[in-house]
Every structure is written in structure tokens, then in C-alpha cells.
């Protein structure tokens, strides 16, 4: 099998995409190969917000730039 041409990396930071979010979400806690999709649900999202252990984490521009530089550096080292 040939090496991939690229990787698509994406993630969220703590508390920025909760269960019940209007964008939809998934349940990764179930014992299945594929996570179950969760429809938007205001009650579920409110519950998840109340149960957070800390405030949501949003990266500032400097932090986003540092993450981007690190990803590029790792890609160069592995390439």
C-alpha cells in the first residue's frame, strides 16, 4: 500500500463541542465499532455544560500558531 499523500487532522478543545451541540455530536462511550450519532439537544448540552470540570478552553492566536508550527515540524521530521 502506498504512503498517504496527506493527513487531515482535526480536534476540539475541552468544552467547545459538547454532547447535544447544534452541530451534532457522537457518543464514544458505547461498546461499538462506530460511535452513535447524537442529534442536537438543548437539554443534553445544558447538562454537559453544568458537568464540566472547568471552563471551555479556546486557543488564542499565539497558541494556534504554536500548534501549527509543531505540526509542520513533526511532519518534516517524519517525511
d(CA 41, CA 46): 9
pTM score over 0.75: no
In this predicted structure, the answer to whether residue 32 has a pLDDT above a threshold of 80 is no
Band of residue 73 on the pLDDT scale cut at 50, 70, 90: very high
Chain mean position to CA 29: 15
Amino acid at each position: 500500500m502506498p504512503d498517504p499523500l496527506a493527513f487531515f487532522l482535526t480536534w476540539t478543545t475541552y468544552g467547545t463541542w459538547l454532547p447535544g451541540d447544534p452541530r451534532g455530536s457522537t457518543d464514544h462511550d458505547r461498546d461499538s465499532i462506530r460511535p452513535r450519532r447524537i442529534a442536537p439537544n438543548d437539554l443534553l448540552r445544558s447538562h454537559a455544560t453544568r458537568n464540566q470540570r472547568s471552563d471551555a478552553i479556546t486557543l488564542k492566536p499565539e497558541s494556534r500558531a504554536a500548534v501549527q508550527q509543531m505540526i509542520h515540524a513533526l511532519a518534516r521530521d517524519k517525511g
